[in-house]
Amino acid sequence: MANAPRIDLPSVPFPDATRVPALGLGTWTMGEDRARAEREAGALSLGLDLGMTLVDTAEMYGDGGAEEVVAKAIAGRRDRVFVVSKVYPHNAGRKSAISACERSLRRLSTDRLDLYLLHWRGSIPLAETVAAFERLRADGKILRWGVSNFDTADMRELFALGVGQHCATNQVLYHLAQRGVEWDLLPWMRAQRMPVMAYSPLGQGALLRKPKLAAIAARLRATPAQVALRWLLRTPDVVAIPESADPGHVRDNRASGSLDLDAQALREIDAAFPPPKGPTSLAVI
Ligand SMILES: NC(=O)c1ccc[n+]([C@@H]2O[C@H](COP(=O)([O-])OP(=O)(O)OC[C@H]3O[C@@H](n4cnc5c(N)ncnc54)[C@H](OP(=O)(O)O)[C@@H]3O)[C@@H](O)[C@H]2O)c1
């Protein structure tokens, strides 16, 4: 990598002890327009240079185009990047998941995914999807698998299949203004020693325009994005995957690692963005 990762970015262990940086790179809106692909790949490359060496993508994003953008960004440094992709629920059958994964591998110009997720639950029985994931793992096409948008009851159902210990993570909506997972899903995952991947950690940008967040950030001489991300990184089992195609924003997000969130800031955050007071069903986008 052009620059060695700075030391102020914590790492998060998966159940198999593999560590990834607590800040990765999202790609949801990438690969939709060829004219923007160079800029998007450049932003991802910069993020990788700065140590955010986990990239989250999906066959859904840009109809495969995002995976092609990721391929450009990781060219020449595949071994130093943790690549996550996701299978559509309707492609998550015993055979179809294997074909979907092979298509993702081709678009990503790689021979394996570090992590393959079921994007959300569909009508195909979980046992079939898990059987396909285990086949892909045995064949070395994926190194580990997990799920996304699973609520606590879904996780319990997965674990009841007897293979839950092979599930590496659950990727869910989690940011300052969406804290419902703190009630039971996060504690449940913590009990299984399973990290959470927080998607839309900046509330898709809308969170950053909230006056209460701006006020807290101003007192800390930080940006709203830095506060929102640093808050997610306050616990050792959260990986946040902000997306940006803007180099300035990528640097801004990376700088969250060195922000000091003092006790006063944490109190102000809890007052402005309160934790859940009871169980709520999982919010999804
Ligand atoms: N599993 C799932 O179902 C699921 C669902 C949603 C998302 N995801 C994953 O999570 C990733 C992130 O979520 P997201 O893309 O929904 O939203 P997000 O990361 O919360 O927000 C992205 C938006 O914030 C802007 N932004 C980024 N950094 C900024 C900064 N420092 N200052 C100001 N604006 C900034 C970006 O614009 P610029 O490009 O201009 O910076 C973009 O408009 C996705 O890309 C995807 O990989 C997964």
The residue-averaged pLDDT of 266-273 equals 98
Judge if the beta carbon of residue 28 lies within 6 A of ligand 1: yes
Rounded Cα–Cα distance for residues 239 and 233 (Å): 7
The pLDDT score that the predictor gives to residue 104 is 99
Rounded Cα–Cα distance for residues 274 and 279 (Å): 14
Q: Which atom of ligand 1 is nearest to the CA of 285?
A: 5
- Which of 104, 244, 254 should be mutated for ligand 1, with most atoms under 8 A from CB? 244
Nearest CA to ligand 1 atom 4: 199
- Is 61 catalytic? The answer is yes
Judge if the beta carbon of residue 149 lies within 6 A of ligand 1: yes
Judge if the beta carbon of residue 245 lies within 6 A of ligand 1: yes
Judge if the beta carbon of residue 93 lies within 6 A of ligand 1: no
pLDDT surpasses 80 at 55:
yes
Q: What is the pLDDT of residues 158-199, one digit of tens each?
A: 999 999 889 999 999 999 999 999 999 999 999 999 999 999
Confidence of residue 4 (pLDDT cuts 50, 70, 90): very low
Dihedral, CA of residue 67, residue 75, residue 26 and residue 252, to nearest 10: -150
Amino acid at 254: R
Q: What is the pLDDT of residues 67-76, one digit of tens each?
A: 999 999 999 9
The pLDDT score that the predictor gives to residue 96 is 98
Rounded Cα–Cα distance for residues 125 and 264 (Å): 47
Q: What is the pLDDT of residues 215-247, one digit of tens each?
A: 999 999 999 999 999 999 999 999 999 999 999
Confidence of residue 6 (pLDDT cuts 50, 70, 90): very low
Judge if the beta carbon of residue 252 lies within 6 A of ligand 1: yes
Q: What is the pLDDT of residues 84-143, one digit of tens each?
A: 999 999 999 999 999 999 999 999 999 999 999 999 999 999 999 999 999 999 999 999
Confidence of residue 250 (pLDDT cuts 50, 70, 90): very high
How many angstroms separate the alpha carbon of residue 4 from the centre of ligand 1?
24
Dihedral, CA of residue 198, residue 280, residue 122 and residue 65, to nearest 10: -30
Residue 95 CA, distance from chain mean position: 26
The pLDDT score that the predictor gives to residue 218 is 97
Residue 241 CA, distance from chain mean position: 4
